[in-house]
Amino acid sequence: MAVLVFAESDNGVYKKSSFEIVSYGKTLATSLGTSCIAVSIGNAGTENLGNYGADKHIHVSDASVQNFNPQVYAKALNKVATDNGAHTIVISQTYSGKSIAPLLAIKQNAALATGLVSLPEIEGDRFRVKKTCFSSKAIAHVSLTNPKRVITLIPNSYQINITDSEVAKEDFSCGISESDVNTTITATNKVTGKVVLTEAELVVSAGRGLKGPVNWNLVEDLADALGAATACSKPVSDMEWRPHSEHVGQTGITIKPNLYMAFGISGAIQHLAGVGSSKVICVINTDPEAPFFKAADYGIVGDAFEVLPKLTKRVKEIKGVA
């Protein structure tokens, strides 16, 4: 009986959400009176996962797991979970995590709950989770009655806890061969933004109100001053003003930064589906009736072309880089 967490990496670097998930898994394991096993696969990061709460670190080192493949990763995690008697498996709700979790739940014959935003409530056999639903418009409280569960946690939902304990990385072969890998990667397009949008704590986003791609230097200047990632609405990426990798919303990426700043975005329900769980939302729009103001913590009725440079200037002054 153990809690197993999947610590995801991107090209030899752990994702920030992996540290969150290990800290989350440790707290969960403690409340269940068991241990937390972190699993890394393939070209993993180098940090010691014991520092984030792992009691054990198993590294799947088969040669055929170097490239991400949901079927293969689910198979590897299934093997580690079964061999180590894990009853609860925690995965980050990232692109990769979302594709692995249901496959793994079927293999484990486990309950599946996705999109968690906090620790479960545990009382005796009761395991009650709080999860987002209806494109993050509502929160559902769900009791998982199956003693085996796979749960996914939305990145940026749990604080990373750093400890001074360390664990040794144990290499493990899942016996996965080339014949298990049924897809071939022919090309990879890497997002090259300075701050990765899915991991960003601060996001500066803009919509059609910015009038055209030539004005995005104003958005990038503020993002650079803040150390934020840039995002955009769907029409902006449809018109190729910005790359699709910046498109947030129902049909784009779902994010949960600490601060989401929206310039010239109306706040359609499909946009809010991807950003509505942000901790603080700040909306800048010329139209006082723009629907986004209803979801905002702070709002400025104003012209993005005036507000953006003023904010950038002020941020630089505060940071002493004016």
Binding site for ligand FAD (CB under 6 A): 207-209, 233-236, 249-252, 264-266, 268, 270-271, 274, 284-287, 290, 303-305
For the bound state, the minimum distance from the C-beta of residue 32 to ligand FAD, rounded and expressed in Å, comes to 37
For the bound state, the minimum distance from the C-beta of residue 3 to ligand FAD, rounded and expressed in Å, comes to 33
Q: Is 65 exposed, middle or buried (0-12, 13-18, 19+ CB in 10 A)?
A: buried
Residues in contact with 257: Cβ distance below 8 Å, sequence separation at least 6, in sequence order: 156, 200, 201, 202, 203, 229, 278, 279
302 vs 70: CA distance, rounded Å: 46
143 vs 102: CA distance, rounded Å: 18
Nearest C-alpha neighbor of 75 from the set 148, 151, 152, 182: 182
Closer by beta carbon to ligand FAD, 27 or else 251: 251
Tell me how crowded residue 93 is: count the other CB atoms within 10 A of its CB: 25
For the bound state, the minimum distance from the C-beta of residue 249 to ligand FAD, rounded and expressed in Å, comes to 2
Tell me how crowded residue 221 is: count the other CB atoms within 10 A of its CB: 18
For the bound state, the minimum distance from the C-beta of residue 262 to ligand FAD, rounded and expressed in Å, comes to 8
Closer by beta carbon to ligand FAD, 3 or else 262: 262
Closer by beta carbon to ligand FAD, 32 or else 305: 305
Amino acid at 96: S
For the bound state, the minimum distance from the C-beta of residue 276 to ligand FAD, rounded and expressed in Å, comes to 11
According to DSSP, residue 13 is labeled E
Amino acid at 200: A
What are the tokens at 79?
């093997």
Closer by beta carbon to ligand FAD, 111 or else 259: 259
Closer by beta carbon to ligand FAD, 115 or else 274: 274
CA-angle at 148, arms to 143 and 153, nearest 5° = 65
For the bound state, the minimum distance from the C-beta of residue 235 to ligand FAD, rounded and expressed in Å, comes to 5
Closer by beta carbon to ligand FAD, 170 or else 287: 287
Closer by beta carbon to ligand FAD, 69 or else 136: 136
CA distances from 61 to 41, 64, 67, 169, 251 (A): 7, 8, 12, 11, 35
Closer by beta carbon to ligand FAD, 50 or else 274: 274
For the bound state, the minimum distance from the C-beta of residue 100 to ligand FAD, rounded and expressed in Å, comes to 23
Q: Is 97 exposed, middle or buried (0-12, 13-18, 19+ CB in 10 A)?
A: buried
For the bound state, the minimum distance from the C-beta of residue 277 to ligand FAD, rounded and expressed in Å, comes to 14
Asked if 97 and 8 count as a contact pair (C-beta separation under 8 A), the reply is yes
